[in-house]
Chains A and B, each alone.
Chain A
Amino acid sequence: MTVATAIVRPFTQAVGKLSAVHRLAPWLLVYLLLLPLPYVLSGLFNDYYVYLANRICIFILLTVGLNIVKGFCGQVTIGHVGLYAIGAVSSALVSLHLGAPFWVSFPIGVLVAGVAGIIVGLPSVRLEGAYLALATLGLGESVRIMIAVTPLFGSSTGLIGIPTPEIGGFVFDSFERYYYLLITATMIGIYLSFSILRSATGRAFMAIREDTIAASVHGINVPQYKLLAFVISALYAGAAGALFAHMPPGYIHHNNFTIIEMVTLLLMVVLGGIGHIWGGVIGAIIVTIIYDQTLEFYFYQPLLFGLSMVILVMFMPRGIGGVIDRYFVTRRFIGAREGKTDGAP
């Protein structure tokens, strides 16, 4: 080792650590700000809004996952809710029948959903667009039907009394307490999706979405990356499902995993802006609130959501994220253009 590296190494390592702090600081700040939310909500309104915040967290996790496969990789899937169900049921079963604690059943639920994600993703190697949508719809629905007809999976009564998580004597047995778990998982989930998508992997996903042939000619193993996108999104769905299953009162039913849930999810992604992480998060928040506020018209909800989707696709195809991007991109350009005007033909 030369003198230079002996001196420089610790320095660059320190810089590396510093930049990690720098990178994580805003996330930690937001996390800390969001932690007391249940007390604000129950103080200002009532407990129902805490429950709503919990639902929002679960839907954010689902949307972030769906956005990876649909928004970034461009694979139309209607099987996401099926993976959510698989995560929920497997984690519930492991803890109900094997008596495993949440910290064991949760990763198992996530992994089982991940494996199922390979199966849901396999058709994407051959099929595209509407055909792929149909294939994944079939897989997702068959999961729900399987749950509905199998006593072990809850059939018509659903699974009851799924234990709530506990850590060092602290039991997450109320909506307020469960919220800590959910907001932690959600923040980690969003952060990780940024890590994945702002890397060569994320760029490969986008390239596949833009042009499959060009992507493969530029060295991207298209089938492998498509499957990877499906698996990652399935891991998110599995995590959301497991978290949902153990949420007080610890009850899941096949009605939680219908095609209507799937339409709602798609609407979140489309409203948020396909392929835009924050847009998807905002979409999840808005749609969950609208969904809950219009519950009394539940009969018309599918119609309302379906129509909104059509209108969005037609008039605002890039959703909220598109609006955000447009704002920033335009600003950057005006700057760049004013700097230099010469260039290529």
Chain B
Amino acid sequence: MALLETTKLSKSFGGLRAVSDLDIAIEPGTIHGLIGPNGSGKSTFFNLVTGVYQSDPGSRIVFDGTEITNMPSHEVGALGIARTFQLLRLFSDMTVLQNLMVGYHTHVSYSILTAIFDRGAVQRYDARTTEEMMDLLEFIGLADYAEMPASELSGGQRRLLALGRAMAMRPKLLMLDEPAAGLSPVNVEHFLAIVMKLKEKFGLTILIVEHILKVVMETCDTVTVLDYGEKIGEGTPNEVKDDHAVIEAYLGQEMDDDEVRAILRT
């Protein structure tokens, strides 16, 4: 059974259909790529799944056997879906460690009453959580920056922090929206290596939006291609890259398919 499955998922903004009757199934344990030209609806798909946007009537999203259509974001998060944002949306004025502690929020077992009446218990609990978060920071290579405000990190470190904050949720499904955008090729490699290690260690399922096609071709098990909110292709990277519709959507009709394939391979 698929971990995440959408049926007839749609979203209109006024007259614009940003996502249109989309059926996607993400199998557990896989890395699923989502690609498509700018404005094809990839981020909108993320926002629909995580409850940031309400979907149009008739849409259905099921995660791990639970229907999550139009469920509030915080409940979706608690069920085990973590995501990053294309524009990161870090908690800039909080420290790196605090960013992760917020990610851990759904697992915190004490209430505000404990916080008020038993400060010692909270301190001990938070100390344990801090240990766990520090392990995670070490894993992604940000441990030395734990006490630094997120706003002072470099671009690459911010991307890692967004990943770490999502991982602090201990998710089953990790959804990454262009996580390596703006990184140098070396850093893209580094970033992806960490993602792969995390997947390995925590048995994750991953959905990744990525513009660098080489990355998609090398890391994904399955790729779904969107264009104008519709699915125009799906399959293994090899199947997709030979798909005429995909090639057309991506690069227009001017080039012939062989030329395009050559580009996709690089």
Interface residues of A (CB under 8 A from B): 16, 19-20, 23, 192, 195-196, 198-201, 203-204, 206-207, 209-211, 213-222, 228, 275, 329, 332-333, 336-337, 339-340, 343-345
Bound together, the chains give a CA A200 to CA B126 distance in angstroms of 8
DSSP majority for the A interface? helix
Bound together, the chains give a CA A206 to CA B149 distance in angstroms of 13
CB < 8 Å neighbour of A206 from B51, B91, B112, B116: B91
Q: From known contacts A214-B90, A220-B105, infer whether A199 and B157 are also in contact, taking CB-CB under 8 Å.
A: no
Residue pair B187, A220 in contact (C-beta under 8 Å): no
Minimum-distance CB pairs A-B, first 4: A219-B106, A344-B141, A199-B115, A219-B77
Interface flag for B57 (CB, 8 Å): no
Complex contacts, B89 vs chain A, CB 8 Å = 211, 213-214
Q: From known contacts A200-B110, A343-B141, A344-B140, infer whether A206 and B147 are also in contact, taking CB-CB under 8 Å.
A: no
CB distance from B235 to the nearest CB of A (A): 30
Q: From known contacts A200-B108, A344-B157, infer whether A216 and B115 are also in contact, taking CB-CB under 8 Å.
A: no
Bound together, the chains give a CA A74 to CA B83 distance in angstroms of 24
* Chain B, 100-118, CB within 8 A of any chain A CB: 101-103, 105-106, 108, 110, 112, 115-116
Q: From known contacts A199-B126, A219-B105, A343-B144, infer whether A206 and B94 are also in contact, taking CB-CB under 8 Å.
A: yes
Residue pair A221, B90 in contact (C-beta under 8 Å): no
Q: From known contacts A195-B116, A343-B142, infer whether A217 and B147 are also in contact, taking CB-CB under 8 Å.
A: no
Bound together, the chains give a CA A266 to CA B89 distance in angstroms of 28
CB < 8 Å neighbour of A207 from B91, B141, B183: B91
Complex contacts, A332 vs chain B, CB 8 Å = 147
Interface flag for B248 (CB, 8 Å): no
CB < 8 Å neighbour of B147 from A216, A220, A329: A329
Complex contacts, B82 vs chain A, CB 8 Å = 218
Complex contacts, B77 vs chain A, CB 8 Å = 216-219
Interface residues of B (CB under 8 A from A): 50-52, 72-74, 76-78, 82-83, 85, 89-94, 98, 101-103, 105-106, 108, 110, 112, 115-116, 119-120, 122-124, 126, 140-142, 144-145, 147-149, 154, 156-157, 160, 165, 169, 183-184, 186-187, 190
Given A196-B116, A344-B141, 13 further pairs, Cβ under 8 A? A16-B120, A206-B98, A206-B102, A210-B94, A211-B89, A213-B85, A217-B52, A217-B77, A218-B106, A219-B105, A329-B149, A332-B147, A337-B144
CB < 8 Å neighbour of A195 from B73, B85, B119, B156: B119
Bound together, the chains give a CA A179 to CA B156 distance in angstroms of 54
Complex contacts, A336 vs chain B, CB 8 Å = 144-145, 147-148
CB distance from A199 to the nearest CB of B (A): 4
CB distance from A102 to the nearest CB of B (A): 23
Q: From known contacts A207-B102, A345-B190, infer whether A201 and B144 are also in contact, taking CB-CB under 8 Å.
A: no
Bound together, the chains give a CA A196 to CA B122 distance in angstroms of 10
